[in-house]
Amino acid sequence: MQGWTGYSEKGVRIVIPRLAITTGDPRGIGAEVVAAALSVPGVRTVVVGPDDVVAGMRAERVVGVGAWAGGGDEPLARAGRLTGRAVEAAVGLWRDGEVDAIVTGPGDKRALNAAGYRYPGHTEMLRDLLGAPQVAMMLASERLRVVLVTTHLPLRDALAILTAERIVAIGEIARRSLREWFGLEQPRLALCALNPHAGEGGLFGHEEEQSLAPAARTLGIAGPLPADTVFVRAMRGEFDAVLAPYHDVGMTAIKVASFGRAVNVTLGLPVPRTAPDHGTALDIAGKGIADPSSMREAVAVAAAIVRRLREGALSRP
Protein backbone atom coordinates (compact mmCIF):
# COMPACT_ATOMS: atom_id res chain seq x y z
CA MET A 1 0.00 0.00 0.00
CA GLN A 2 1.06 3.61 -0.50
CA GLY A 3 1.88 5.93 2.38
CA TRP A 4 -0.63 7.56 4.66
CA THR A 5 -0.36 11.07 3.21
CA GLY A 6 -1.48 12.55 -0.06
CA TYR A 7 -2.49 15.90 -1.56
CA SER A 8 -5.82 17.53 -2.22
CA GLU A 9 -6.70 19.20 -5.52
CA LYS A 10 -5.42 22.47 -4.04
CA GLY A 11 -2.07 20.94 -3.15
CA VAL A 12 -2.80 20.69 0.58
CA ARG A 13 -1.23 17.70 2.27
CA ILE A 14 -3.93 15.39 3.66
CA VAL A 15 -3.94 12.22 5.73
CA ILE A 16 -5.31 9.06 4.10
CA PRO A 17 -5.89 6.46 6.82
CA ARG A 18 -4.97 2.86 6.05
CA LEU A 19 -7.21 0.34 7.81
CA ALA A 20 -7.06 -3.42 8.27
CA ILE A 21 -10.63 -4.72 8.43
CA THR A 22 -11.35 -8.30 9.52
CA THR A 23 -14.53 -10.00 8.37
CA GLY A 24 -15.20 -11.76 11.67
CA ASP A 25 -16.95 -15.10 12.03
CA PRO A 26 -17.60 -16.53 8.55
CA ARG A 27 -20.98 -17.91 9.65
CA GLY A 28 -22.29 -14.45 10.53
CA ILE A 29 -23.02 -11.11 8.90
CA GLY A 30 -19.44 -9.82 9.12
CA ALA A 31 -18.55 -10.15 5.44
CA GLU A 32 -21.83 -8.56 4.41
CA VAL A 33 -21.44 -5.45 6.58
CA VAL A 34 -17.72 -5.15 5.81
CA ALA A 35 -18.43 -5.18 2.06
CA ALA A 36 -20.95 -2.37 2.55
CA ALA A 37 -18.54 -0.38 4.74
CA LEU A 38 -15.86 -0.32 2.03
CA SER A 39 -17.80 2.55 0.47
CA VAL A 40 -16.70 4.90 3.28
CA PRO A 41 -14.67 7.57 1.44
CA GLY A 42 -11.16 8.77 2.12
CA VAL A 43 -9.58 5.56 3.41
CA ARG A 44 -7.39 2.75 2.11
CA THR A 45 -8.42 -0.71 3.18
CA VAL A 46 -6.97 -4.18 3.58
CA VAL A 47 -9.71 -6.76 4.19
CA VAL A 48 -8.57 -9.80 6.14
CA GLY A 49 -10.51 -13.04 6.43
CA PRO A 50 -11.09 -16.50 4.97
CA ASP A 51 -9.81 -16.85 1.41
CA ASP A 52 -13.21 -17.62 -0.03
CA VAL A 53 -14.90 -14.82 1.93
CA VAL A 54 -12.56 -11.94 1.03
CA ALA A 55 -12.14 -12.95 -2.61
CA GLY A 56 -13.65 -10.28 -4.82
CA MET A 57 -14.05 -7.68 -2.07
CA ARG A 58 -13.60 -4.15 -3.42
CA ALA A 59 -10.73 -3.27 -1.13
CA GLU A 60 -7.30 -2.01 -2.09
CA ARG A 61 -5.98 -5.37 -0.97
CA VAL A 62 -7.28 -8.62 0.53
CA VAL A 63 -5.41 -11.02 2.80
CA GLY A 64 -6.63 -14.60 3.13
CA VAL A 65 -6.11 -16.68 6.26
CA GLY A 66 -7.34 -20.06 5.00
CA ALA A 67 -10.48 -21.45 3.39
CA TRP A 68 -13.82 -21.53 5.18
CA ALA A 69 -15.78 -23.81 2.86
CA GLY A 70 -14.85 -27.45 2.55
CA GLY A 71 -12.82 -27.81 5.73
CA GLY A 72 -12.81 -31.13 7.51
CA ASP A 73 -12.83 -30.03 11.15
CA GLU A 74 -15.79 -29.06 13.32
CA PRO A 75 -17.47 -25.87 11.97
CA LEU A 76 -17.56 -24.00 15.29
CA ALA A 77 -13.84 -24.45 15.88
CA ARG A 78 -13.00 -23.71 12.24
CA ALA A 79 -14.99 -20.48 12.36
CA GLY A 80 -13.18 -19.45 15.53
CA ARG A 81 -9.78 -20.38 14.10
CA LEU A 82 -10.30 -18.25 10.99
CA THR A 83 -11.63 -15.36 13.08
CA GLY A 84 -8.58 -15.50 15.33
CA ARG A 85 -6.13 -15.82 12.45
CA ALA A 86 -7.60 -12.75 10.81
CA VAL A 87 -7.08 -10.70 13.98
CA GLU A 88 -3.50 -11.96 14.25
CA ALA A 89 -2.88 -11.08 10.59
CA ALA A 90 -4.31 -7.58 11.10
CA VAL A 91 -1.95 -7.05 14.05
CA GLY A 92 0.91 -8.23 11.84
CA LEU A 93 -0.01 -5.69 9.18
CA TRP A 94 0.11 -2.93 11.77
CA ARG A 95 3.45 -4.12 13.17
CA ASP A 96 4.85 -4.08 9.62
CA GLY A 97 3.73 -0.49 9.15
CA GLU A 98 1.21 -1.35 6.43
CA VAL A 99 -1.89 -0.06 8.25
CA ASP A 100 -2.64 2.63 10.82
CA ALA A 101 -5.67 1.11 12.57
CA ILE A 102 -7.65 -2.10 12.92
CA VAL A 103 -11.40 -2.59 12.51
CA THR A 104 -12.76 -5.99 13.49
CA GLY A 105 -15.89 -7.70 12.26
CA PRO A 106 -18.11 -9.46 14.82
CA GLY A 107 -16.78 -12.69 16.30
CA ASP A 108 -18.38 -15.52 18.24
CA LYS A 109 -16.85 -16.00 21.70
CA ARG A 110 -17.78 -19.69 21.80
CA ALA A 111 -16.15 -20.27 18.43
CA LEU A 112 -12.96 -18.46 19.44
CA ASN A 113 -12.73 -20.55 22.59
CA ALA A 114 -13.45 -23.77 20.68
CA ALA A 115 -10.47 -22.88 18.47
CA GLY A 116 -8.18 -22.40 21.46
CA TYR A 117 -8.40 -18.62 21.78
CA ARG A 118 -9.22 -18.48 25.49
CA TYR A 119 -10.50 -14.93 25.63
CA PRO A 120 -13.89 -13.44 26.45
CA GLY A 121 -13.64 -11.32 23.31
CA HIS A 122 -11.54 -9.37 20.81
CA THR A 123 -10.65 -6.73 23.40
CA GLU A 124 -8.67 -9.06 25.63
CA MET A 125 -7.17 -10.92 22.69
CA LEU A 126 -5.82 -7.69 21.20
CA ARG A 127 -4.52 -6.63 24.60
CA ASP A 128 -2.31 -9.71 24.78
CA LEU A 129 -1.31 -9.70 21.10
CA LEU A 130 -0.17 -6.09 21.40
CA GLY A 131 1.29 -6.32 24.89
CA ALA A 132 -0.88 -3.60 26.37
CA PRO A 133 -0.76 -3.54 30.19
CA GLN A 134 -4.44 -2.64 30.52
CA VAL A 135 -7.25 -1.76 28.15
CA ALA A 136 -10.80 -0.50 28.39
CA MET A 137 -13.88 -0.99 26.23
CA MET A 138 -15.71 2.15 25.18
CA LEU A 139 -18.99 2.25 23.27
CA ALA A 140 -19.39 5.60 21.56
CA SER A 141 -22.00 7.36 19.49
CA GLU A 142 -22.93 10.94 18.74
CA ARG A 143 -25.29 10.85 21.73
CA LEU A 144 -23.32 9.01 24.41
CA ARG A 145 -19.95 7.49 25.36
CA VAL A 146 -19.76 4.66 27.89
CA VAL A 147 -16.54 3.13 29.23
CA LEU A 148 -16.87 -0.26 30.93
CA VAL A 149 -14.88 -0.74 34.13
CA THR A 150 -15.53 -4.50 33.96
CA THR A 151 -16.52 -6.36 30.81
CA HIS A 152 -17.42 -9.97 30.03
CA LEU A 153 -17.62 -11.47 33.50
CA PRO A 154 -20.37 -13.04 35.59
CA LEU A 155 -21.78 -10.28 37.78
CA ARG A 156 -20.43 -11.93 40.93
CA ASP A 157 -16.90 -11.92 39.50
CA ALA A 158 -17.24 -8.36 38.24
CA LEU A 159 -18.15 -7.14 41.73
CA ALA A 160 -15.09 -8.88 43.17
CA ILE A 161 -12.70 -6.86 40.99
CA LEU A 162 -14.57 -3.55 41.16
CA THR A 163 -11.97 -1.89 43.34
CA ALA A 164 -11.10 1.78 43.62
CA GLU A 165 -7.74 1.01 42.02
CA ARG A 166 -9.36 -0.57 38.97
CA ILE A 167 -11.83 2.27 38.54
CA VAL A 168 -9.00 4.82 38.71
CA ALA A 169 -6.91 2.88 36.18
CA ILE A 170 -9.80 2.63 33.69
CA GLY A 171 -10.68 6.28 34.27
CA GLU A 172 -7.13 7.37 33.50
CA ILE A 173 -7.09 5.32 30.28
CA ALA A 174 -10.42 6.87 29.28
CA ARG A 175 -9.24 10.41 30.01
CA ARG A 176 -6.00 9.97 28.06
CA SER A 177 -7.74 8.37 25.08
CA LEU A 178 -10.44 11.03 24.92
CA ARG A 179 -7.71 13.65 24.78
CA GLU A 180 -5.42 11.96 22.27
CA TRP A 181 -7.90 10.11 20.06
CA PHE A 182 -11.02 12.28 20.29
CA GLY A 183 -9.53 15.74 20.73
CA LEU A 184 -11.18 16.58 24.07
CA GLU A 185 -8.68 18.70 25.98
CA GLN A 186 -10.47 18.41 29.33
CA PRO A 187 -12.75 15.34 29.20
CA ARG A 188 -15.67 15.52 31.61
CA LEU A 189 -16.13 12.07 33.13
CA ALA A 190 -18.80 10.73 35.45
CA LEU A 191 -18.85 7.50 37.42
CA CYS A 192 -22.07 5.49 37.38
CA ALA A 193 -23.09 4.00 40.71
CA LEU A 194 -23.40 0.28 41.30
CA ASN A 195 -26.39 0.11 43.64
CA PRO A 196 -29.87 1.68 43.43
CA HIS A 197 -29.83 5.39 44.28
CA ALA A 198 -26.02 5.22 44.58
CA GLY A 199 -26.43 3.11 47.71
CA GLU A 200 -28.66 5.63 49.49
CA GLY A 201 -26.05 6.35 52.14
CA GLY A 202 -25.37 2.66 52.78
CA LEU A 203 -29.02 1.62 52.93
CA PHE A 204 -28.78 -0.28 49.62
CA GLY A 205 -25.11 -1.27 49.69
CA HIS A 206 -21.70 0.00 50.75
CA GLU A 207 -19.70 -0.26 47.51
CA GLU A 208 -20.24 3.41 46.71
CA GLU A 209 -18.72 4.69 49.95
CA GLN A 210 -16.02 2.01 50.08
CA SER A 211 -14.76 1.94 46.49
CA LEU A 212 -16.60 4.14 44.00
CA ALA A 213 -16.58 7.46 45.84
CA PRO A 214 -12.85 7.26 46.69
CA ALA A 215 -12.09 6.46 43.04
CA ALA A 216 -14.16 9.40 41.82
CA ARG A 217 -12.34 11.72 44.25
CA THR A 218 -8.94 10.45 43.09
CA LEU A 219 -9.88 11.02 39.45
CA GLY A 220 -11.51 14.35 40.22
CA ILE A 221 -14.73 13.40 38.45
CA ALA A 222 -18.45 13.43 39.22
CA GLY A 223 -19.95 10.47 40.99
CA PRO A 224 -20.90 7.92 41.85
CA LEU A 225 -24.17 9.03 40.32
CA PRO A 226 -27.32 6.86 40.10
CA ALA A 227 -27.59 4.79 36.93
CA ASP A 228 -31.14 5.97 36.30
CA THR A 229 -29.99 9.57 35.75
CA VAL A 230 -26.27 9.70 34.89
CA PHE A 231 -26.66 8.50 31.30
CA VAL A 232 -29.48 10.97 30.67
CA ARG A 233 -27.29 13.78 32.00
CA ALA A 234 -24.47 12.69 29.69
CA MET A 235 -26.79 12.62 26.69
CA ARG A 236 -27.86 16.17 27.56
CA GLY A 237 -24.24 17.30 27.32
CA GLU A 238 -23.16 17.42 30.98
CA PHE A 239 -20.49 14.70 30.61
CA ASP A 240 -18.28 13.51 27.76
CA ALA A 241 -18.25 9.90 28.96
CA VAL A 242 -19.63 7.74 31.74
CA LEU A 243 -17.64 5.03 33.52
CA ALA A 244 -19.99 2.07 33.98
CA PRO A 245 -19.20 -0.39 36.81
CA TYR A 246 -20.35 -3.53 34.98
CA HIS A 247 -21.16 -4.69 31.48
CA ASP A 248 -24.94 -4.66 31.28
CA VAL A 249 -25.62 -1.28 32.89
CA GLY A 250 -23.30 0.40 30.39
CA MET A 251 -24.26 -1.66 27.35
CA THR A 252 -27.97 -1.26 27.98
CA ALA A 253 -27.60 2.52 28.14
CA ILE A 254 -25.62 2.85 24.90
CA LYS A 255 -27.76 0.40 22.96
CA VAL A 256 -31.01 2.02 24.01
CA ALA A 257 -29.54 5.40 23.06
CA SER A 258 -27.83 4.45 19.80
CA PHE A 259 -28.20 0.82 18.73
CA GLY A 260 -26.85 0.31 15.23
CA ARG A 261 -25.01 3.64 15.28
CA ALA A 262 -22.57 3.10 18.14
CA VAL A 263 -18.96 1.95 17.81
CA ASN A 264 -16.85 -0.25 20.07
CA VAL A 265 -13.45 1.39 20.66
CA THR A 266 -10.64 -0.37 22.54
CA LEU A 267 -8.82 2.20 24.68
CA GLY A 268 -5.26 1.66 25.86
CA LEU A 269 -3.88 -0.15 22.80
CA PRO A 270 -0.90 1.22 20.85
CA VAL A 271 -3.06 1.10 17.70
CA PRO A 272 -6.63 2.39 17.25
CA ARG A 273 -9.12 -0.47 17.09
CA THR A 274 -12.83 -0.17 16.48
CA ALA A 275 -15.72 -2.57 15.87
CA PRO A 276 -19.48 -2.43 15.32
CA ASP A 277 -21.81 -2.47 18.31
CA HIS A 278 -23.46 -5.78 17.37
CA GLY A 279 -22.63 -9.46 17.21
CA THR A 280 -22.57 -12.10 14.49
CA ALA A 281 -26.37 -12.18 13.99
CA LEU A 282 -26.26 -15.81 12.85
CA ASP A 283 -30.04 -15.86 12.47
CA ILE A 284 -30.01 -13.37 9.58
CA ALA A 285 -26.66 -14.22 8.00
CA GLY A 286 -26.84 -14.69 4.23
CA LYS A 287 -30.26 -13.06 3.90
CA GLY A 288 -28.94 -9.72 2.67
CA ILE A 289 -30.81 -7.73 5.33
CA ALA A 290 -28.03 -6.89 7.79
CA ASP A 291 -27.72 -3.19 8.62
CA PRO A 292 -24.13 -2.03 7.94
CA SER A 293 -24.53 1.33 9.71
CA SER A 294 -22.47 0.44 12.78
CA MET A 295 -19.66 -1.09 10.70
CA ARG A 296 -19.57 2.04 8.54
CA GLU A 297 -19.34 4.10 11.73
CA ALA A 298 -16.54 1.85 13.00
CA VAL A 299 -14.56 2.51 9.81
CA ALA A 300 -15.27 6.24 9.99
CA VAL A 301 -14.26 6.52 13.66
CA ALA A 302 -11.03 4.58 13.11
CA ALA A 303 -10.19 6.85 10.19
CA ALA A 304 -10.98 9.97 12.24
CA ILE A 305 -8.67 8.84 15.06
CA VAL A 306 -5.85 8.15 12.58
CA ARG A 307 -6.31 11.56 10.98
CA ARG A 308 -6.17 13.29 14.36
CA LEU A 309 -3.01 11.44 15.37
CA ARG A 310 -1.28 11.87 12.03
CA GLU A 311 -2.22 15.52 11.56
CA GLY A 312 -0.82 16.17 15.02
CA ALA A 313 2.42 14.45 14.02
CA LEU A 314 2.62 16.45 10.78
CA SER A 315 2.10 19.74 12.60
CA ARG A 316 4.99 19.15 15.00
CA PRO A 317 8.41 20.49 13.95
The pLDDT confidence band at residue 73, using thresholds 50, 70 and 90, is: low
In this model, does residue 215 exceed pLDDT 90?
Answer: yes
The reply to whether 1-132+269-317 and 135-268 are identical in fold is yes
Q: Please give the backbone phi and psi of residue 126, each rounded to the nearest 5 degrees, phi first.
A: -65, -35
Domain range summary for the chain, segments of one domain joined by + = 1-132+269-317, 135-268
> What span, in angstroms and rounded, lies between the C-alpha atoms of 107 and 122?
8
Q: Reduced to 3 states, what is the DSSP secondary structure of residue 12? A: coil
Query: Does domain 135-268 bear CATH number 3.80.10.10?
Result: no
> What span, in angstroms and rounded, lies between the C-alpha atoms of 103 and 277?
12
pLDDT in tens, 75-124: 999 999 999 999 999 999 999 999 999 999 999 999 999 999 999 889 99
> Domain 1-132+269-317's class?
alpha beta
Distances (CA, A) of 235 to 86, 174, 274: 36, 18, 22
pLDDT in tens, 141-168: 999 999 999 998 899 999 999 999 999 9
Centroid of chain to Cα 89: 18
- Percentage of the chain beyond pLDDT 70 is 93
**Is the Cβ–Cβ distance between 251 and 1 less than 8 Å?**
no
The pLDDT confidence band at residue 72, using thresholds 50, 70 and 90, is: low
In this model, does residue 245 exceed pLDDT 60?
Answer: yes
So what's the pLDDT on residue 10?
52
Average confidence score pLDDT of the chain: 91
pTM of the model: 0.90
